[in-house]
Each structure stands twice: as structure tokens, then as C-alpha cells.
Amino acid sequence: MEAAEILEKARASGEPPHGWIILPLLRNKVRLNILGWIAGAIVGFGLFAIMVPIMIPHNYLYGLIPALVSTILLGMVLFVGIGSVWQIIVDTRRLLQANKYIMVITPNEFVMQEGENIIHVPLMYVRHITARGFAPPDRTAPQGAVVSEMPHTGDNLTGFMFGRGFIPSVSKWRERRKAKRTPAMLAFVDSRTDREVIIRDYNLYADPYTIATLLRDYTSSVQRIF
């Protein structure tokens, strides 16, 4: 089945075909992201506006090292502001063209449209599925000494001010911190060309590891048959 035909059926109203998983863009999540980028732009440009009159020209009159450090700091906060504005534009475009952002997994095909870009790979050719940038859900029983999960003095103060629910467990915090070291993406290899297919921001369609698990299950079923 051609990609255009699969996308047309996925967008049609009514019940989807049996076994199809249709994941449209999560608009509320995109809106929430835009609010976050707006805050980032305000912080970035705000800090830049505050730092410029303090650092220029004062810090550039005391040698190379102060000038270099000042330039790096100004560049960082300016990058945060400009990068946030760019992401606002990207996510706003997603919202305005939400019907062009969809992921479909059928019993035999994987199809995804992002704007004008369409990815179509038969599942029998999908290999080495990996989900990057998110910590997997913890389904294991707690192990190790209980004292390792005890809050520190700073945690107690934060809990007193904001409530205990504000403080995540140490293990979950470590998982999130480790996961953030890599960009959020779903990757697999198309064995027809041995090319790695990378899908970025796939968390805007559903829970990242749910998508990866479903894709692995469907791929295993197809390849077991063939």
C-alpha cells in the first residue's frame, strides 16, 4: 500500500482499519512547549539586556581573558533567546499545519508525515529500533539501602516550602538527568538501504517508549511470519 493511501485512510473519519495505530500530533503538548519556549526567550533576551551594559565596555578593558569570558556568557544567553524564538516558530508552524503531522503503524507498514516530509518503511525491513532521549519507565522493585532515598537538608527545606510532592525521588531524578543528555529521537535501520531512519520529537505523538514498544511488537510479528 502506498504512503499516500495509508495517510488518507488514517485521516478519514470513523473507525480505523483493524490493527492500525494512528497517532496524530498532540496539540496541547505542542502548545505547552510553546509556552516553555516563550519563557526561554524572555529569560534569554532579558539576561542579555541586563548583562550588556554591565559587561560592555567595562570587562573588555581588562585583558583577553575577561573579554573572552564575557563574550562566551553573552553568546550563551543570546543563543538561548534566539533558539527559543526559533522553536516558537517551528512549533507554531506545527500547530497551524497539524493535519500534516501524523504517525501511522499498520500491521505491515510504518508511515509518518512531518510537514511535506513523508517516511514510509515496510515493517519487514525495520531493524534495530531504539528510543533515545527518555528514561524508560521503572518497573523494578526498589533495591539497595533505604537511606539512599532519604531527602537531604535542602530537600527538606524545599518540601517544607512547596510540599513533599514537589521533590522527585533520587532515582527518578537520575534517570531524567541521564536521559536529557541525548536528543529525543526514535531511530531504526531500513535494511533495504542500511540507512538509519531518525525521527525527532516523536514524543509529540504519544508516550515515547509506548511508540517504540508497539513498533517492536508489530515488526517482530511481521518478520516472524516472513
The torsion angles phi and psi of 205, rounded to 5 degrees, stand at -115, -30
pLDDT of residue 182: 47
**Residue 165: what pLDDT?**
47
pLDDT digits (tens, 9 = 90+) for 182-215: 457 788 999 999 999 988 888 888 887 888 889 9
Q: What residue spans define the domains of the chain?
A: 28-98, 122-136+154-225
Q: Of 187, 201, 184, 181, which is closest to residue 130 (Cα–Cα)? A: 187
pLDDT confidence of residue 135: 55
- Separation of alpha carbons 176 and 92, rounded Å: 27
Does the pLDDT at position 130 exceed 80?
Answer: yes
Residue 136's pLDDT band (cuts 50, 70, 90)? low
Residue 177 confidence (pLDDT) above 70: no
Q: What are the cell numbers at 17?
A: 482499519
Segment 76-106, tens digit of pLDDT: 999 999 999 999 999 999 999 999 999 999 9
